[in-house]
Amino acid sequence: MRILKMGQVGGGIGAFIGEVHRKAARMDGGIVLAAGAFDVVPENSLKQGKLLGLDPKRVYSTYQEMIAGELALPLGERVDFIAVCTPNHTHYPIAKACIQAGFNVMCEKPMTLTVKEAEDLEALVKKTGVVFGLMHNYTAYPMVKLAKDMVKQGDLGKLRKVVVQYPQGWLWQLLEKSGQMQASWRTNPKTSGAAGSMGDIGTHAANLAEYITGLKITEVLADLTAFVKGRKLDDDGNVLLHFEKGVKGLLHASQIAVGEENNLKIWIYGDKKGLWWSQENPNFLHVISQVAPEEIWKRGNGYVADKSKTAARGTRIPSGHPEGFLEAFANNYANFADTIRAKEEKRRAKPEELDFPSVEAGVRGMKFINAVVTSSKKGNIWVKI
């Protein structure tokens, strides 16, 4: 296995998700951090590079300098991919520049600010053939992959209903007023996009529902609210969903649900059985029935591996030793990296290697945001995606 070199944009000192990407990428020993433009303030990027022990020649003041500096290195020395871990409004220009320079990209969600930008990136990825990953990490948990395989294998029967929720409470007050970095850009339409909580976490919930069911959401009816006085973007939203094949559902995402942390949870009901999974207790998948006791499937056991190859592939340690958030990120990185290696080896990537969200998921996310915002603004009407 060739060890891939990672470049990173974002993830400066005090940033949230950049450090998660670094930890997850190196988890399996197949990726090393080699370069970065870590912060919007150039001096802070240099400070972060020093703390991370990088070669000072590979720590850049801006992403443009990183692209130019890495392109000047011979193939094999330069980074194999660039992870974009910056606020939403910067994803499009940074990802576009990286792709145009021929770099593979791992990008944070939501992918862009508009549907048009998302479609532009999709066309560019297709044209150039770069490998593109989108960090919807919740679909990378082994028990979510097991749920997907159960649905696919017909265990639930014909699907009828999906309920998915993502409540958080951390924006229950005007936190952005204090200048808190993560709250500030997330609540500003210029840096966050057309939606607040729906873009930040509603897109994760929609992606989870589409991944497990294998069905697309076709239309939505949304009611978005900014509960906190002075806030410009939604901090709460309730959405009715229509999926393909007549499946119906609902999604709620909130950042003012006081007391909640990251209570992402999904229930799927078919005409034979149902299932539910909770992100805060992710090593278990619950299968429920009208005529039999509840089954609790536990990560890491042989019966999971028998049922789902992708769930087994996304498991590192024996059952009973919990795996979670970092491992899910690492699963997306492992599959993304194997797909890059497959390209290098001029072979077709296997389906299990391709099991990570890509640019199409980014386009779906942007269409979802666009539809829920439109629906809510137009007085809670059904809007097609």
x-marked contacts with ligand NAI along 73-102 as a string, rule CB under 6 A: ------------xxxx-x------------
Q: Contact region for ligand NAI (CB under 6 A) — 111-119, 179-187, 244-252, 277-285? A: 179-187
Bridge partner list, 83:
8, 106
Q: Which is nearer to ligand NAI, 97 or 305 (CB)?
A: 97
* Residue 112 is a binding residue for ligand NAI (CB under 6 A): no
User: How many residues form the binding site for ligand NAI (CB under 6 A)?
Assistant: 26
Please select the residue that binds ligand NAI; options are 5, 6, 7, 10, rule is CB under 6 A: 10
108 binds ligand NAI per the rule CB under 6 A: yes
283 binds ligand NAI (CB under 6 A): no
Closest distance to ligand NAI from the beta carbon of 289 (Å): 32
Binding mask 137-156 for ligand NAI (x = CB under 6 A): x-------------------
Q: Which of 181, 258, 317, 381 binds ligand NAI (CB under 6 A)?
A: 181
Residue with tokens 């930890």: 23
- Please identify which residue in 26, 27, 28, 40 interacts with ligand NAI, judged by CB under 6 A: 40
- Residue closer to ligand NAI, measured from CB, 80 or 200: 200
Task: Note whether 135 binds ligand NAI by CB under 6 A.
Answer: yes
Determine if 7 is a binding residue for ligand NAI (CB under 6 A): no
- Which CB, 59 or 215, lies closer to ligand NAI? 59
Closer by beta carbon to ligand NAI, 200 or else 236: 200
Q: Quote the least distance from Cβ 195 to ligand NAI, whole Å.
A: 11
CB of 278 to ligand NAI, least distance (A): 16
Q: Which residue is nearest to ligand NAI (CB)?
A: 12
Look up residue 252 and give its two tokens.
């709620």
Q: Which residues are at the interface with ligand NAI (CB under 6 A)?
A: 9-12, 15-18, 37-40, 63, 85-88, 90, 108-109, 135, 137, 181-182, 185, 200
